[in-house]
A and B are shown apart, each in its own frame.
Chain A
Amino acid sequence: MQVLFARHHVRVYRFVLRLVRNDATAEDLISEVFLDVWRQAGKFEGRSAVSTWMLSIARFKALSALRRRPEEELDEETAERVEDQSDDPETALAKKDKGVLLRQCLTALSTEHREIIDLVYYHEKSVEEAAEIVGIPEATVKTRMFYARKKLSELLKEQGIDRGWP
Chain B
Amino acid sequence: MNTKNKEAHSEIEELLPWHAAGTLSRSDARRVEDALTRDPELARRYALVRDELGETIVLNETLGAPSAHAMEKLFAKIDAEPARRQAMSRNLGTRVVEFFASLSPRTLAFAGSAAVFAILLQAGIIASVMLTETKTSGYETASAPSNPPAGEGAFTLIRFAPQATQDDVTKFLAANRLSIASGPIAGGIYKVRVAVTGLPKAELAEIVKKLQGDKVVGFIAITE
Which residues in A have their C-beta under 8 angstroms from that of B63? Answer: 13-14, 17-18
Task: Report the Cα distance A85→B55, complex, angstroms.
Answer: 24
Interface residues of B, count at CB 8 A = 50
Task: Report the Cα distance A14→B24, complex, angstroms.
Answer: 24
**Are B187's CB and A124's CB within 8 A?**
yes
Chain A interface SS verdict (over half): helix
- Interface range on chain A (Cβ under 8 Å from partner): 35 or more
**Are B104's CB and A49's CB within 8 A?**
yes
Give per-residue flags for A1-42: 1 if the beta carbon is below 8 A from chain B beta carbons, else 0. Answer: 101110001110110011000000011101100110011010
**Are B71's CB and A46's CB within 8 A?**
no
Q: Which one, B14-22, B142-150, B171-179, is touching chain A? A: B14-22
Residue of A nearest to B188 (CB): A124
Task: Report the Cα distance A14→B63, complex, angstroms.
Answer: 6
B161 contacts partner chain A, Cβ-Cβ < 8 Å = no
**Are B84's CB and A27's CB within 8 A?**
no
**Are A49's CB and B103's CB within 8 A?**
yes
Which residues in B have their C-beta under 8 angstroms from that of A149? Answer: 17, 49, 52
- Least Cβ–Cβ distance between A149 and chain B, in angstroms: 7
B59 contacts partner chain A, Cβ-Cβ < 8 Å = yes
**Are A103's CB and B59's CB within 8 A?**
yes
Q: Which residues 42-97 of B sit at the A interface, judged by CB distance below 8 A?
A: 44-45, 48-49, 51-60, 63, 65-67, 69-71, 73-75, 77-78, 81, 84, 88, 95-96
Select one of B52, B57, B58 contacting A152, CB under 8 A: B52
- Least Cβ–Cβ distance between A68 and chain B, in angstroms: 19
B98 contacts partner chain A, Cβ-Cβ < 8 Å = yes
Task: Report the Cα distance A26→B69, complex, angstroms.
Answer: 12
Task: Report the Cα distance A165→B48, complex, angstroms.
Answer: 9
Q: Which residues 113-159 of A sit at the B interface, judged by CB distance below 8 A?
A: 117-118, 120-122, 124-127, 142-143, 145-146, 149, 152
Q: List 21 A-B contacts (CB under 8 A).
A: A1-B88, A3-B99, A5-B74, A9-B71, A13-B66, A27-B67, A31-B71, A46-B98, A46-B101, A48-B102, A102-B51, A103-B59, A106-B52, A117-B56, A118-B60, A120-B18, A122-B187, A124-B187, A126-B24, A149-B49, A163-B48
Interface residues of A (CB under 8 A from B): 1, 3-5, 9-11, 13-14, 17-18, 26-28, 30-31, 34-35, 38-39, 41, 44, 46, 48-52, 98-99, 102-103, 106-107, 117-118, 120-122, 124-127, 142-143, 145-146, 149, 152, 163-165
